[in-house]
Structure 1
Amino acid sequence: MEHDPIAETVASMIPRARTELAELVAFRSVADLAVSPRSESEKAARWIADALRAEDFQDVSVLDMSDGWQSVYGCLPGPADAPTVLLYAHFDVQPPLDEAAWDTPPFTLTEREDRWYGRGAADCKGAVLMHLLALRALKAHGGVPVTVKVVVEGSEEQGTGGLERYVRDHPEMFAADAILVGDAGNFRRGVPTVTAALRGITMLRLEVTTLRGDLHSGQFGGVAPDALTALLKILSSLVGDDGSARVDGLPADGHWEGLEYPEDDFRADAGLLDGVRLTGTGTVGDRLWSRPSIGVMGIDCPPVEGATPTLQARARAAISLRLPPGQDARSATDMLTAHIERHTPWGARVRIEPLGQGEPFRADVSGPAYRTMADAMATAYPGEDMRLGGFGGGIPLCGALTALYPRAEILLLGLNEPEAHIHAVNESVSVDELRRLATAEAHFLRAYRETPRT
């Protein structure tokens, strides 16, 4: 294999990166006051700001967003005629779910078999270290040849749009020739992938009420409507018999033409039990990246333990609707709301509250930044060609960046390969992926300085 000083330098910096990621993971920076205090997110923001200052970034700021959370910004100026690259990550994380179900404490970074475990290790605090490793490696080999802007968001997981609105109000701060969004992942470990399509999302909370108070089911059942049953009928109306999304007026027949995802691989990655069928129709790529899907995020109902034969006066659920590129989140939200109202049975009262939304995204992959990244990935992953894939999750900022900077190329990469189990218990990051992707990013930044952009 050809000698690569950049890769060797990145590898030598991995022990320091582990120490730093452990510090960052230790902050319980869930952007939800019902889960974590605001001070945890504020401490994470200060940590990132200090890290940028230590790398000679200028104009480093902890920015207050309109949604009540913070983001961190800094700029590392390059030569006067150099292009500008914006690097993105986020430091907020999903709640740990059942902490007792983790093999090791979720906010204590723990190493096992070349993986580091902890909430946010991959999604997306690890990407902060990926960016820092790339920049440090370049500084060790002559300096960073482009202007680099970094923005690290503090409320991406909540979809509340604080950074999106800030970018729209301050477009000059984030203008760039290329944008590297470090919140995606390889198709699988060792397969270099740039994500070219993202599904968007809209989230709603619905509350169904039917009675002034709970009732004895023996005395009133069969005549008085149960709110929980009404809620279940609404939720059932949102999926077909095959499990695919069925929202009145919303197309659900898209076709994916990119990277293939074999069904057996998907079953293994998703951990499906033997005999359990996949939902929907079409290829896995069709269903995962080109069609909408419905999920129930949570439901309020009496627990089985201690349950009594009672009719419920009130029931609530939180749902999410994932949207493929080409569909509009606002229009889809209107369709979903109308569907719920139309399918609410028995004249029950339903109150619908929006929780957040993000637009889907499709990249133009024909530009010079993609060619430069393909070469960089080939260097970091010898013998492997860069693939173009989709990602089922959404990154709300991408839509705002596309609208503001239509000439900028947006590339999505990161550490969220299937084994990372992001948003689940025992989230982890592959140390090898961190090393290789930081190496690829460093090579990209070095080569992009000389890449023709017309």
Structure 2
Amino acid sequence: MTDPSGSPFSQVDDREQRLAEEVRLALPASIAELSGLVRIPSVSWSAFDPAQVAASAEAVAGLARETGVFESVEILRAETGTGEKGQPAVLATRAARNGRPTVLLYAHHDVQPQGDDADWESPPFEPTVRGDRLYGRGAADDKAGVVSHLASVRALRSVAGDDFDLGLVLFIEGEEEFGSRSFANFLEVHREKLAADVIVVADSDNWDAETPSLTISLRGNVTFRLTVSTLAHASHSGMFGGAVPDAMLAAFRLAASLHDENGSVAVAGLTSREMQTPEYTDETLRNEAGLLEGVSPIGTGSVLSRLWAQPAITITGIDAPSVANASNTLVPSVSLRVSARIAPGQDPQEAFEALEAHIRSHAPFGAKVELDDVDTGSPFLVDTSGWAVTAAKDAMRDAWGAEPVEAGIGGSIPFIADLVRVFPEAQILVTGVEDPHTRAHSPNESLHLGVFHRAIGTEALMLLRMNDRAGNN
């Protein structure tokens, strides 16, 4: 049996063959469900309509109820650290029976803003299939994770029957793209309902469209707004330019100080980690990242050590006069959004303090600097010694017909640190439905449908085998 991209399923017994067939037959329905979710513009950022996130939560809850598996399906909110209500999450539960383990399935139904619609080849919230990919905001990150959980649960039920013994918790968050600001409180309030032996976080990627990977390391993050000021008010650039430093000049000089001549981070106190990495060439990087001809990669060390085990700093936004509205004035203040990724092993507060110290000591011309709107998230290293890691890799190998890669990720999933804190005994598996050409967070985000098929097959197979497992070890 083959999936749409031709990769074999290699399950060895009749039940597992039936499971693979159930996944294959249900794939069109799964794609239709995913398309329905993509049509809901559930951007969780504060400047966007919260009614759309609520509508998305209702749609996910409806799909969870339709599985017929869960004993309880609720839409819940928790307070953020500042006392506001967070975005709605879906929590569905089914108790374990006869000593079987409980598995928590996590994904998120909120999405990033779409950016400029003109940058999309098809409307961002109108799911569109081109070739073997489904395009749309959230098609991969992370509504495909939501639907892969639901599809795998349905496949499990079709083979194991209505009275299977595995415990299940479905937790679909509604504000991951906005910093998971109520996540920690949600865990505390619903600790008993969320307790599990294994936690599957379906919010990562795969080595490529033909090779699965299990994410075993994640960088942490530090983000903040940096405001640079040099003038009490705007002044004529012709009359005072050349003697008075404007905020734009100071901000650019300050931003440039964050990197050395190779493009490596030049902030004292930001650490790196020694890590063995698979082979990954500059040409692969160029192809997957979309580097323009003639533009060179930055940094030193192996490519993957730069992506997984070294810090990175990016200016992701700037508040300044637009080109269309530019006048001949010296700008008094400029604000930058600074996004830093920190290596596994570094404390995010320590990293923020290092960044703040660098900025204050490198502010040119005596410019005044202010740092606010700070968010931090811890990096993460997976303990690969548990039985669940072995079970996940075995299921990947059988469902993909390829040897899985233990991979790091340059991105961050800060809430995993909260899961470890609240559920220290749980084994955490970071999986996903993305591939290097997904373009998550970018225009023309897409999902490879073959990867989607195999990701569902992997999780369904893993759940079926865990349903046969006595105890939680």
Look up the match of 1:105.
123
**Does residue 37 of the first structure (1) align with residue 16 of the second (2)?**
no
Q: Deviation at 1:199?
A: 0.7
Return 106-115 or 242-251, whichever deviates more.
242-251
Look up the match of 1:151.
171
Work out whether residues 227 and 314 of structure 1, in 8 Å CA contact, stay in contact via their aligned partners in 2.
yes
Question: Deviations for 1:14-43, whole angstroms, at most 9, x for unmatched residues?
Answer: 121122111111111111132x20100010
Look up the match of 1:55.
67
Task: Give the number of aligned pairs.
Answer: 451
Q: Deviation at 1:398?
A: 0.8
Q: Deviation at 1:309?
A: 3.0
Look up the match of 2:403.
385
Q: Deviation at 1:160?
A: 4.4
- Find the aligned partners of 1:344 and 1:327 in 2 and give their Cα distance: 25
Work out whether residues 193 and 386 of structure 1, in 8 Å CA contact, stay in contact via their aligned partners in 2.
yes
Look up the match of 2:322.
303
Q: Deviation at 1:412?
A: 0.8
Work out whether residues 180 and 415 of structure 2, in 8 Å CA contact, stay in contact via their aligned partners in 1.
no
Q: Deviation at 1:87?
A: 0.4
**Does residue 275 of the first structure (1) align with residue 275 of the second (2)?**
no
**Does residue 319 of the first structure (1) align with residue 338 of the second (2)?**
yes
Question: Deviations for 1:120-154, whole angstroms, at most 9, x for unmatched residues?
Answer: 00000011110011011111112344101011111
- Find the aligned partners of 1:14 and 1:450 in 2 and give their Cα distance: 25
**Does residue 184 of the first structure (1) align with residue 204 of the second (2)?**
yes
Q: Deviation at 1:7?
A: 1.5
Look up the match of 1:336.
355
**Does residue 228 of the first structure (1) align with residue 241 of the second (2)?**
no
- Find the aligned partners of 2:356 and 2:187 in 1 and give their Cα distance: 29
Alignment of 1:49-448 (within 5 A): 49-56=61-68, 57-67=70-80, 68-143=86-161, 144-252=164-272, 254-382=273-401, 384-448=402-466
Change (3 A) 1:237 1:169: farther
Change (3 A) 1:117 1:404: same
- Find the aligned partners of 1:409 and 1:341 in 2 and give their Cα distance: 41
- Find the aligned partners of 1:396 and 1:72 in 2 and give their Cα distance: 20
Work out whether residues 256 and 290 of structure 1, in 8 Å CA contact, stay in contact via their aligned partners in 2.
yes
Return 364-373 or 216-225, whichever deviates more.
216-225
Task: Describe the SS at the equivalent of 2:186.
Answer: helix
Q: Deviation at 1:451?
A: 4.2
- Find the aligned partners of 2:282 and 2:425 in 1 and give their Cα distance: 37
- Find the aligned partners of 1:306 and 1:32 in 2 and give their Cα distance: 27
Task: Describe the SS at the equivalent of 1:426.
Answer: coil
Q: Deviation at 1:169?
A: 4.2
Q: Deviation at 1:227?
A: 0.8
Change (3 A) 1:355 1:25: farther
Return 442-451 or 263-272, whichever deviates more.
442-451
Q: Deviation at 1:362?
A: 0.5
Q: Deviation at 1:256?
A: 2.4
Cα RMSD after superposing both structures = 1.6
Question: Deviations for 1:408-453, whole angstroms, at most 9, x for unmatched residues?
Answer: 1111111121111111111111111111111110111111234464
- Find the aligned partners of 1:168 and 1:261 in 2 and give their Cα distance: 41
- Find the aligned partners of 2:148 and 2:22 in 1 and give their Cα distance: 13
Return 423-432 or 158-167, whichever deviates more.
158-167
Work out whether residues 133 and 448 of structure 2, in 8 Å CA contact, stay in contact via their aligned partners in 1.
yes
Question: Deviations for 1:329-381, whole angstroms, at most 9, x for unmatched residues?
Answer: 12111221222122222222222113422111110111111111122112111
Task: Describe the SS at the equivalent of 2:353.
Answer: helix
Work out whether residues 89 and 152 of structure 1, in 8 Å CA contact, stay in contact via their aligned partners in 2.
yes
Work out whether residues 160 and 357 of structure 1, in 8 Å CA contact, stay in contact via their aligned partners in 2.
no
Q: Where does the alignment leave 5 or more consecutive residues of structure 2 unmatched? A: 2-9, 12-16, 81-85
Choose the corresponding residue for 2:32, options 16, 19, 23.
Answer: 19
Question: Deviations for 1:237-267, whole angstroms, at most 9, x for unmatched residues?
Answer: 1111111112222224x33214332222111
Change (3 A) 1:330 1:395: same
- Find the aligned partners of 2:188 and 2:254 in 1 and give their Cα distance: 37
Q: Deviation at 1:306?
A: 4.8
Task: Describe the SS at the equivalent of 2:260.
Answer: coil
Work out whether residues 227 and 335 of structure 2, in 8 Å CA contact, stay in contact via their aligned partners in 1.
yes
Look up the match of 2:14.
none
Work out whether residues 277 and 305 of structure 2, in 8 Å CA contact, stay in contact via their aligned partners in 1.
no
Task: Describe the SS at the equivalent of 1:269.
Answer: helix
Return 311-320 or 138-147, whichever deviates more.
138-147
- Find the aligned partners of 1:202 and 1:394 in 2 and give their Cα distance: 10
Work out whether residues 93 and 193 of structure 2, in 8 Å CA contact, stay in contact via their aligned partners in 1.
no
TM-score (norm 2): 0.92
One-letter amino acid matched to 2:45: D
Q: Where does the alignment leave 5 or more consecutive residues of structure 1 unmatched? A: none
Work out whether residues 103 and 197 of structure 2, in 8 Å CA contact, stay in contact via their aligned partners in 1.
yes
- Find the aligned partners of 2:353 and 2:430 in 1 and give their Cα distance: 29
Return 60-69 or 205-214, whichever deviates more.
60-69
Q: Deviation at 1:311?
A: 0.7
Return 119-128 or 15-24, whichever deviates more.
15-24
